[in-house]
């Protein structure tokens, strides 16, 4: 208490204001300390969820477009075109860096940095994230013949790089009458 000469309490306006501020500070300071302490403990104990990954390709809650290119994929089984479905690599909780938006065969590579991604990584994501396609992949017995930009690919089709404006055709069994090309138009 603030006292004047003679031991009486100072009831002036300024003294009352100081007492009121002192009461507020006695509540506010401990509250701030408690909030900071909880924040520090939470920061120490917090472990971010591990990123879901398939074949080294991560799945994140939003698109990352530091590196963004498009390839196109056509798949044929005994001469018949099979659709590359929409939403391959898109889950309700996250989006893989390799994915499709529509059923048009465009593979979107949207990643945090320029890295070589391959068709094998995409087909792994496709087979594991698009449930209706599981039966399709299970039915394939033989390795496909692969074409990149109209030229037969020599080697393991899984190693075909997904690069900007690359047209990839996978042929299982009998080929179509003509290996298709794709007009990327204004993409990228």
Q: Parse the chain into domains and list their residue ranges.
A: 9-47, 52-172
- In CATH, what class is 52-172? alpha beta
Bridge partners of residue 71, in order along the sequence: 107, 166
- Read off the pLDDT of residues 112-132 as tens digits, 9 standing for 90 and up: 999 999 999 999 999 998 877
Residue pLDDT, tens place only, 140-175: 778 899 999 999 999 999 999 999 999 999 999 999
Q: What is the pLDDT of residue 80?
A: 93
CA distances from 62 to 31, 59, 90, 188 (A): 36, 9, 10, 19
**Residues forming a β-bridge with 161:** 118
Q: Where are the beta strands (DSSP E) in the chain?
A: 52-54, 57-60, 67-77, 80-82, 95-96, 98-99, 106-111, 145-148, 151-152, 166-172
């Amino acid at each position: 208490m603030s006292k004047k000469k003679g031991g009486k309490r100072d009831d002036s306006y300024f003294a009352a204001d100081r007492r009121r501020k002192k009461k507020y500070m006695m509540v506010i300071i401990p509250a701030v300390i408690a909030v900071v302490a909880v924040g520090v403990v939470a920061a120490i104990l917090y472990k971010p969820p591990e990123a879901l990954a398939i074949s080294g390709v991560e799945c994140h809650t939003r698109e990352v477009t530091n590196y963004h290119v498009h390839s196109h994929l056509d798949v044929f089984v005994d001469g018949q075109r099979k659709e590359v479905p929409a939403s391959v690599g898109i889950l309700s909780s996250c989006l893989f860096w390799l994915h499709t938006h529509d059923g048009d065969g465009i593979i979107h590579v949207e990643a945090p940095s320029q890295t070589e991604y391959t068709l094998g990584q995409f087909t792994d994501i496709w087979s594991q994230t698009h449930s209706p396609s599981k039966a399709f992949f299970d039915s394939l017995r033989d390795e496909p013949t692969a074409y990149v930009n109209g030229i037969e690919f020599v080697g393991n089709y899984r190693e075909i790089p997904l690069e900007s404006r690359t047209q990839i055709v996978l042929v299982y069994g009998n080929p179509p009458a003509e290996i298709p090309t794709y007009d990327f138009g204004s993409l990228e």
